[in-house]
Amino acid sequence: MKVITTYLYLAHRSASNLTMADMQDILLSDFFSQTYDQILSCLTQMCDGNCTTGGHNNFVQSESDYTYDKEYARAEQEDAQAKVETRRDVYILSYGIGNFISCLIARYQLAFLLALRDRLGAECTACEVFDPVFTSHERSVLKTFNCVLSSQNEEGKRLCSVRTIAFLPHCGKALYNNLLWRNAASPNCDSLFNLLLIGNSFQHMVERTPSRQLQKTANFVQQLQPYIREIQVDNNFTHKDIFNDLAIHWFHPSQQGVLVSCLERNCEEPVYDNCDVEFIRSKD
């Protein structure tokens, strides 16, 4: 029994140390600095209702056309940081990280999540992480990092009653779809405007997936994509397969009237065939 206990202790410490080292790599990277600035800018626009980067309904900036002047970015960050100080209840929610002890990609994604939480500081009220594949060991490590662990598989159907950064890296279409549906179904779509979602680019998803398939697996992504503000994350991290095809998505308050009108005709809970589901279903 003592040998087993010692092994578990060493394994736990090793996993924690690995994640700390990965977080250091993230924090020191240009990727994190630039992405964090983009997140702050989006949060600011969500709060003040003034979009300073364009007026198109389908708002997407790609890696090629997203110019990032360093002096302007620094001034923008300072202004955004000042506005963050006046905000409350920035909640972080993450689905689908995966087995980070055995997978380098998952470990760096977790490191990004923890680095984001720590950089936001006191304005982040909590960091909740859920994946049904987590082992008991991984859950123990996450508790060490002061993460909130959900015991219920919501299948992504979380109502964002406060401003929420949802981090869903490389998840299945239906998981994004469920998150959008749950918040679109709130009165006047109010909860959609609390949601800042970091995940696979919805623009690419719509462009690369046949419309008939989207109707089956991501009908709310398809329906709402024209009204989503999207900034594609520059994939300039050392390892190119960790944050590829990610984008920051949010809804600008000026779109509320259009969204309410669009969704009042069809806001029923999505139903999927088993063969179309790319997430682990709840056992309830």
User: Which residue did the predictor score with more confidence, 79 or 242?
Assistant: 242
Convert the pLDDT of each residue in 35-53 to its tens digit: 999 999 999 888 766 444 3
SS3 percent helix, strand, coil of the chain, rounded to 5, is: 50, 15, 35
Give the pLDDT confidence score for residue 64 in this predicted structure: 40
Cα–Cα distances (Å) from 238 to 28, 34, 257, in that order, read 11, 14, 42
- Confirm whether 264 is domain-assigned: yes
Q: What is the mean pLDDT of the chain?
A: 82
- Confirm whether 226 is domain-assigned: yes
Using the predicted structure, report yes or no on whether residue 278 has a pLDDT greater than 50: yes
Convert the pLDDT of each residue in 125-157 to its tens digit: 999 999 999 999 999 999 999 999 988 899 999
User: Which residue did the predictor score with more confidence, 32 or 65?
Assistant: 32
CATH code assigned at 171: 3.40.50
> pTM for the full model?
0.81
- Confirm whether 105 is domain-assigned: yes
Percent of residues, the chain, with pLDDT higher than 90: 63
Q: At 181, which helix (H) or strand (E)?
A: helix 173-184
Q: Nearest Cα to 258, choosing from 219, 223, 230, 232?
A: 223
User: Which residue did the predictor score with more confidence, 152 or 206?
Assistant: 206
- Confirm whether 214 is domain-assigned: yes
In the chain, how long is the greatest CA-to-CA distance?
64
Convert the pLDDT of each residue in 76-91 to its tens digit: 555 555 554 455 579 9
Give the pLDDT confidence score for residue 75 in this predicted structure: 53
- Confirm whether 179 is domain-assigned: yes
| Count of structural domains within the chain | 1
Give the pLDDT confidence score for residue 281 in this predicted structure: 73
Cβ atoms of 200 and 194 within 8 Å: the answer is: no
Cβ atoms of 213 and 206 within 8 Å: the answer is: no
pLDDT interval class at 4 (50, 70, 90): very low
Give the pLDDT confidence score for residue 23 in this predicted structure: 83
- Per-residue pLDDT, averaged over 261-275, amounts to 84
Domain boundaries, position 105: 2-268
